[in-house]
Every structure is written in structure tokens, then in C-alpha cells.
Chains A and B, each alone.
Chain A
Amino acid sequence: MTEIKPIFSSLLRSRAGAVLLIVQIALTLAIVSNAAFMINDRIAYLNQPTGYEEADIFKFNVTTFGKNIDLVQQFELDEAAIRAIPGVVNAVMTNQVPISGSGDSTGFALKPRSEPAPSVRSSYFMGDEHFSDALGVKIIAGRDFNRDDVIMSNNYSKLPTVALVSKQFAEDMFADKSGLGEVIYYGDNPLTVIGILDHMTGPWLSDSKPNNVVVFPFAIGQTIRKFIVRTEPGMRDEVMSKIEDLMLSLESQRVITDLTGLDEKKADYVAQDRLMMNMLVMLSVILIVVTALGIFGLTLFNISKRTKQIGTRRALGAKKSDIINYFLLENGLISCIGLVVGAVFAILLGKQLMTLYSLPQLNTWFVIVTALFILTMSLLAVYAPAKRAANISPSIATRSV
């Protein structure tokens, strides 16, 4: 530790190089710690559980243009035909598809619209008694729909009177009560909650309440509808290949589009978030490499400038380890100053990002861990040149004097 004083005085003599390193390290810490925080945020977002076996489920759209088709009856036939395909567990006709990025939502309240009451926003699905099984979501309390609950119609003149709700919706709507048997209002229409569904995600992963779901027993025949099909593991591709021909053979006056696996739907939906995450990872990795190379290069340069000085020290009895320690200490000192400046800068940057964009506040741990990581990297970058310096022969000192 006695070397700190000479290190300081030598640093003060060649300030420019040290200042540049400090700037580099500080900026690196500020960028990487904020990037790491954002990456962590995205990972949590991308990996949140949806409640579905995404690899076994697929969807497709049916757009019917024939005007003389009884849509309700047709969709019943379609569903039955799909369920008869070997490998299909269950299929349902519905209004929207989970994690697809498009769908319907509305506010539900504990009182009719005429009486002011707090409401909870939720996405809503419409489907028959096959709905929960087609998505593979379990009923954790109460019961599933039965055939008598389901309203089959091609208009909204008669509305369902019961509903299934997701676990998350029940918690948000009913607080400490289970919600089973309670009544919720869609506008002025009362719906009795007959069952609670296990964790499941609605159409929008990025929603503030992604897991709020209400399901109506409603099979509505409209010109644009969607089907969700769950297959046995490994059977999905085979089943998917049969869908279009089967559907058109049952009724040709329609178009089948967007035949997609649920995992692909999700991948499409999150593609931009995944891209952002990947770009931040790339940016951080390259940045750390560039900074490490900078430290490496500058140390090499310092050593070549001080060859004589090192030789003299060696001739005066300094051990190899003393030389290595000297450079490690010198660099450690510079790095620490850079990291302290960088930490302040990182927090300021985090604050700025938080005010400008919808980002949460930077967690200080990310700054600390990133700083330790950068310190390790910089010491590693110094070690190789320092070892080379330690091998400078003491005779150098005498040769040119």
C-alpha cells in the first residue's frame, strides 16, 4: 500500500490518460447498469407465465362471406369436426385469442351502471362449455359451464347470466372474498360468477392487468370468428395441416386465415421487446469489451513509456509481484474513481430515463453489481500487460544509461 503515493504523483503527471480512462469507465458503468436493469425488466416480462401449454395450442380465423349460412349451427358443426380429428383434445369458437395482441375488454362493476361503483377492467372471452378445456386452464373453485348455461345466437338480444372469472380478476374485484356466487355487472347486465379459473392471460401481455379475464358462455355466430384448438403433445403440426381443407369442405363460402401456434402468436407479440432486449445485451457486451480493450491498450502504452523506470525498480530489488501489484493498484485506483463517478452518472441517467419514458426506477443493486463486474474486467485487462512488465529485465536500467 506504500505505493499509493508514487502512483498518485505519476497519475497527476500524466493526467490526460487517466482522465480518459475514468470517463470511459464512468460512461460504461452508467450505460451497462441501466441496460442491465432494462434487460432484467424485459426478461421478467417475456418469461411471465401465461397459464397455457403454448406449444400444444393453435388458433385460426374464419371469415364467412356467404350470406345464407346459419353461422351458429355452422360453427357447432365445425367444432365437432375439429374435435373428431385424431390428436385433438378440445376446440372452441371464440371472440379473441390469448396473447395475440388484439381483443376486447371492458369495465365490470359490482353494481349496475346507474349506481356509481368502482369498476375493474378486464378482457372478456366468449365461448361454450369447451372453452376452459380447449385452453387447458383448470377450474380451481366452483364449476365449469354446462350446456344449459350457453347461449347460442347470432345477435345480442339475449345475454348470458353467468360467467367464469380468472383468479387474478377475482382478487381484484372481490378483494378478500372468493368471488364465487357473487354478481358482477357488464353495463346493466348482471352475471353470477359460477367458477374461478386458474391463472390465465388475456390478449395483451403488456396490459397493466394482463391476467384479468372474464368468460361468458356465449357462442355467437358472426362473420368474423376465431377458433382455438388444443392438441395432444407433439400432434399439433399434423392437426394444423388438416384444418383449412376440413373447414372449407364443411362450408366453402369463407376464408381461413392466420393459422398459427399460440407460441408463435406470443413470439410475434413480444418480438419488439425481444429485439430491444437483444440489442441492449449486444450493446453492453461490446461496450465492456471496448472498455477492456481500451484499458489493455493504455496499460501497454504506459509500460512501454516506463520500461526504463521498471527496469530500475527491478534492479533496485523490486520483486516481479511488486511490479504487477503496482499496475493492478494503479488501474484499480483509476477504475474506482471512474466507478464512483459512473455510479452517480448511472443514477442520474436512470432518473432521466424514468422521467422521460415509462421505465421503473433503477435498482441500486444493478449499479453495484455492474461496478464490481467492470472492476474485475479492468483488473483482468491489466493483468496480462502487467505480467509482461514484470518480465522486463533489470539490465534494461543499466543498458542505456
Chain B
Amino acid sequence: MFLHYLDLSWRSLKRTPLVSFLMVLAIAIGIGITMTSLSVYHMMSMDPIPAKSKQLFMVQLETMDEGEGWWTSDNMPKQLTFQDSENLQLAAQAPKQAAMVKTGFAVHLNNPDFKPLLQPTRATGRDFFSMFNVPFLYGSVWSEEADITGDSLVVIGESLNQQLFGGGNNIGKTLYLDDEMYTIVGIIKTWSLASKFYDLNNGAFRETEQVYIPFAQVRLKELESWGNNNGWKHEDIQTAKDKLNSEILWLQFWVELPDQQSVEQYQAFLNNYIQEQKKVGRFKRDNPRVVIRNVNQWLQYNEVVSEDNKILVGLSFMFLAVCLANILGLLLAKFLRRAPEVGVRRALGASKNQVFAQHLVEVLVLGLLGGVCGILVAQLGLMGIRHSGSGYEALAVMNLKMYLSAPLISMTACVLAGLYPAWLVCRTNPAIYLKSQ
């Protein structure tokens, strides 16, 4: 029966090509525009590490004095001081933890033929790689011992390996970061994230780093931050050592807590830590807060999905509604004009339900056609976004979910628009039309 209805729908569409074309066009444009903004929204808001997003937590400590606010929604600073990052890393109270900061070097081979490359670098603990499921191509991360001693060991990315050595297993070779020699212990595979959730300070959609060194190097080599440095009080900082001992907020700290019990334990540890620091004269608040947020909470807190994008998604769904009102009008006209024919079919024994079902199948076909054409329109829109230089290149794409959503949204919308006309037409009283035939 369904195939028969499909056949009837196809004939009906062919019978009124102009109206059909207009309807498909209206749906295609509506869906196209909606899918364009929805795809970007979807990519922006995608869980960057679905397997572990509920177990990874970013730590925030309320280090500022009483009366000092912050510009975040809950007045909590987004980064940590060096003292706290180092203390928490060394305390090792979570199953896995990683203090981290973005820095950078001129990477070269101490060879005049090779022009140095400026590379953002992440100084972090060895747990970073297992916490964030970073895949290794060759070798592995530095040892636990190196985490503490801060040996000059480095993990590099596949593309830097390509640039430096033309690819291949180069474990054990050396390279220079500025003017110091480092030994390569690991090479990681190209590792891309939907959003760079672990450090959102410098653009949430930047690529992951190609150079990783032990966190202890921050103190040893007095490394500078390539990210934000935020102070809340005036401190006389002249040397790198002053900065390490200051209250300037410039590092991130992540922990992996596999279950509720470890979450509670870790929170208790942090509360305890903050009280102990209070005793040595820091944290001058009555009740300094401790907040930990998992990956998705952290993304939301940092408003990774831009306001503009949310507005666009809303407006494009309203746009889709206009297109549907348009289609509804056309469907009404089209279906009612067919009332005489329906009258005959009803008189010949077709039930109301059958007539209703047949018309719904017809709108479903319309929706499918419109959805598929809508994907084409969306591709045009996304192409435009990719060429706008707005840094959305990697985001303005449709993934499988979006390809499937397009016809689904389209068919749902068309059925909603088609219900009333189909209901009207199936109520046709056969007698009236038989009389006038």
C-alpha cells in the first residue's frame, strides 16, 4: 500500500510541476539555512572527548582577596597560580592529574640550513596523554621520574616530525627548543579536538600543540606563558621567580576522577588544601570556594558556542517556520483543488484513513526531496562560512548526524505542515462531488 501511495505521490508531484518545484524550493531554502547554522552550532557544542568528558575536571580556586571579583558568571577565576598548580600536581591526590600552561619556542636542529619554526608548546604532566586519550605513533611519554626532575625530554606531533625529519621513527633524536637541546621520547599521531577544551584561553578552536615538555621545566627554565596572565592585585614583579611566587593566574589544572566517590574525595582534598594555604597567609577570604567542572560544564561556562551562533540558530528555525507557512498555503490550494477526485475515490470505497495516509505520504516525499536539496543549499552556505576567514574552517562542515538530520527535520516539518490540508481533504463529502460530475 505504501508503495502505491508513493507512486500516487510521484504522479501528483509531476502533474503540477511548478507548484511542486516551488514547494521543494521553499523547503530546501528553509532547511538549507537552518542546517547551515545548526551544523556550525553542532560542531561548536560537540563533546570533544565523549568517552571521558564526565570524568575529566578542571579545577578552579578562589584565590582573590575579599571584595575582589572576577568577570566570570560565578566570580571564580578561570586559571590558577603557579604555586597552586605545582602544589596540586605534586600532591597527586587524584588518580591522574595534569598541571599545564601554553608556552612556546623556536624549534630548530641547530643547523644553518633549517629555518627555525616558532611552535606553541604545552608544558604539562605525563598524565596529560593518558587522560586526554592522546594517541602515540612512536615511543611514549616521559617517565614519572622526569615529571619531577624536569629532564629535557620532548613529545612532538606527527606534522612537526614531518617538518623536522621528513617523518619516520625519530625517537632518541634531539632537537632544539630555543637554544637548549631536548631528546625526543614520543611522537603522537595527529590529534584534533572538536574544541580545545583543556585550554580555552586563546581561541577554543585552535589546533592542539605539536610540542609537549615536562611541567617541571616551567620552574627550571622560567618559561613564559603564551596565554593569558591575569593579576588581581598589584605585585612588584621583576623576575621570572617573582612571577612563580606571585598571585598571577596563568595555568590550568585538570584531574581525572572516575567515579562519584573520587569526586567527593578530591573536593575534600581541595577544601583541605585551601584551608592549609590560608594558614600560611594566602586566601584571605572567610570561605574561599573550590569549583571543579567536567568537560561539558567547562565548555558551557566558557561560552564556547558563540552568542551570534545561538541567535542565528533561533532565527533560522523561525525562517523555517515562514517557509512552512508558505508550503502549508500551497498544500492547501493543491489538495483542495483535488477534492473532486478524492470525492470519487471516497465514493468508490476508499476510507478516510486511506485518503489521509495517501496525502501524508505525498508530503513526506516532498519533505524528503526538500531535505536532500536543502543539504545542497547548506553546503553552499557552509562553503561561504569556510571562506569568510572567521576561523570556523574546521567547524563549517556537516557530519553524518547532520546529513541524517536534514531530511529528518525536513520530513517532520512537512508532515506538521501537511496535517491540516490532509485532514481537510479526507473529510471531503463524496456526495457533493458525485452530484456535480
A residues with CB within 8 A of B: 16-17, 20-21, 23-24, 27-28, 30-31, 34-35, 38, 63, 65-67, 113, 155-157, 187-188, 223-224, 253-255, 257, 267-268, 271-276, 278-280, 282-283, 286-287, 290-291, 293-294, 297-298, 301, 353, 356-358
Contacts and interface: CB of A to CB of B under 8 A. Distances in A.
A271 B390 contact: yes
A21 B326 CA distance: 8
Contacts of B310: 356-357
Contacts of A224: 224
B178 A65 contact: yes
Interface string B29-46: 110010011000000000
Contacts of A283: 33, 312, 315-316, 319
A297 B29 contact: no
Given A254-B106, A271-B391, A357-B307, A297 B22 contact: yes
Nearest to B116: A255
Contacts of B332: 16-17, 20
Nearest to A38: B311
Interface in B202-227: 224
Contacts of A20: 325-326, 328-329, 332
Given A267-B389, A286-B33, A294-B325, 14 more contacts: A23-B325, A24-B322, A63-B106, A65-B178, A187-B234, A255-B106, A274-B390, A280-B312, A280-B315, A290-B29, A293-B26, A293-B326, A294-B329, A356-B310
Nearest to A16: B332
Interface of B: 19, 22, 26, 29-30, 33, 36-37, 104-106, 116-118, 178-179, 224, 234, 237-239, 306-308, 310-312, 315-316, 318-319, 321-323, 325-326, 328-330, 332-333, 384-385, 388-392, 420
Contacts of A23: 325
A188 B33 CA distance: 55
A65 B234 contact: no
B238 A31 contact: no
B179 A65 contact: yes
Given A16-B420, A67-B179, A188 B390 contact: no
Contacts of A358: 307
A104 to B, nearest CB: 9
Nearest to B322: A27
Contacts of A280: 312, 315
B326 A24 contact: yes
Given A283-B33, A290-B323, A113 B316 contact: no
A276 B308 contact: yes
Nearest to A21: B329
A273 B392 CA distance: 12
Contacts of B106: 63, 65, 254-255
B404 to A, nearest CB: 24
